[in-house]
Amino acid sequence: MSMRLVLNSAGEVTLVRYAERLPPAVAWTMPTPFTYSLPGTATHAALAMPQQVSTTMPAPMALPLRALPVAGRSPVIVKVRSVWAHNLEEEMALIEPLLMTSFRFAAVDTEFPGTVHRPSRPAYTLTAKEKYALLKANVDELHLIQLGLTLFDSDGRLPDLGTGGAVHYVWEFNFREFDLRRHRHAPESIEFLRTKGVDFDRTRRDGVEATALGPRLRQWLRAGLGRAGVVTFSGAYDLAYLLKLLYGGGYRLPGDAAVFARVVKTTVGSTHYDVKEMARHCPCDLRGGLECVAGKLGVLRAAGVAHQAGSDSLLTCQMFTRMRERYFDDDTLTAVAGVPPC
């Protein structure tokens, strides 16, 4: 019999059969819009406070909870640390001691020059094999522009790098391989990234050599990077570009999607959580892109702007943490783990 997760009036998520009669619906009192605060802060603790309910709704609904504001408290400050060739060693030296601490999760996001190989018919009509063939053709030919990396613990806390919790940090690596004048790209994607602040002249001039980061990234993975889980949002392309970074610019993806999934698991790590896939298992409508799903969850971007890799990896972390707190226990979370489809 079909099962689904349901949020009850006690704020608990339970697994019920479709055939069962559900209890009366609850209407959550919705205070002021949510401002992101990291777990462990007073604002975050307000999520655990009992909410006022009424049982006047005629049918069950899963409405987003909102964090209660705390008077006199400032929101936690999060900063994106931009990594270039000149500060690569300095930033890697900050990251490496964190790998064996409590920051066992890693959210990743990539920015790349769009797609140049596109389907000849609507995407929804493509088979899984055809979708993977397009992913492979694009990633094999194109170059990575940015990699966002957010390290966080099981409660969603980020590293503060000795600031005593005053400021928390995520990273954004900028790469120099992509040359706008020589390499193929989707013009509309390039113009869009420009509007979001990506400076292609600077990335070409000051960016990190992928060959300088790839071997170090392999060492980080062996040392424990993302050992509790690598988190993405609709992340098949993110993982594919991550493989290309790990193995060098001449690397070509496997010809088969199943082999690709095995390579990802053996290279990047055995546990992957994709927030878009997790949303499909939640008892409410969480369809849509990154910003849309974040809005439905009541999560606001804590730093940076959309379509910059550091900021998007942070938003992915925030969404994963919120979704995990609200809808999943350890067993149900394990059930949705896996390499996302293309």
In whole angstroms, how far apart are CA 76 and each of 79, 138, 169, 307, 318?
Answer: 10, 39, 11, 22, 13
The pLDDT value given to residue 166: 93
- Residue-wise pLDDT for 260-286, tens only, equals 999 999 999 889 999 999 999 998 889
β-sheet bridge partners, residue 273: 231
- Tell me what pLDDT residue 75 has: 62
Q: Which amino acid is at 255?
A: G
Report how far residue 208's alpha carbon sits from residue 128's, in angstroms, rounded to the nearest whole number: 34
Domains and CATH numbers, the chain: 75-335 (3.30.420.10)
- Buried residues in 48-69 as b, exposed as e (16+ CB within 10 A): eeebeeeeeeeeeebebbbbeb
Express each pLDDT in 40-98 by its tens digit.
544 444 444 444 433 333 333 333 333 323 333 346 799 999 999 999 999 999 999 99
Q: How much is the pTM?
A: 0.77
| Element housing 109 (H / E) | strand 105-111
pLDDT digits (tens, 9 = 90+) for 160-170: 999 999 999 99
In the prediction, which pLDDT does 284 show? 87
- What pLDDT is stored for residue 76 in this prediction? 78
Helices (H), 143-199: 187-195
Helix-then-strand count for the chain, H and E: 12, 8
Number of other CB atoms surrounding residue 282 within 10 Å: 21
Range of 13-17, 89-93, 100-104, 249-253 with top mean pLDDT: 89-93
Kindly provide the b/e burial profile for residues 169-188, where b requires at least 16 CB atoms within 10 angstroms of the residue's own CB.
Answer: bbbbbbbbbbeeeeeebbee
Two tokens at 158?
A: 């980020």
Q: Any idea which residue has 């400032």 for tokens?
A: 74
Q: Identify the DSSP state of 120.
A: S
Query: Which is more confident, 22 or 47?
Result: 47
State the pLDDT at residue 43. 46
